[in-house]
Amino acid sequence: MNLKDLFLVLICMLIFMIFILLSVAFFTLLERKVLGYIL
């Protein structure tokens, strides 16, 4: 495993973590809207 492969793996992990954070934030906002609509 050379340096370029390691770099690609790090970039993929970073993108994956950002995607998870965005989806969590989106679901939190969506949940608040739905709860606010129900209550």
Instruction: Tell me the C-alpha distance between 16 and 26, whole Å.
Output: 15
Q: Which domain holds residue 27?
A: 1-39
| 9, 14, 19, 25 alpha-carbon torsion, rounded to 10° | 160
Res 24: pLDDT: 96
> Nearest Cα to 29, choosing from 37, 19, 16?
37
Going by pLDDT thresholds of 50, 70 and 90, the confidence category of residue 6 is very high
Distance in angstroms (rounded) separating the CA atoms of residues 32 and 39: 10
- As for how many domains the chain has, the answer is 1
* Strand, coil or helix: 1: coil
The per-residue pLDDT for range 16-27, each reduced to its tens digit, is: 999 999 999 999
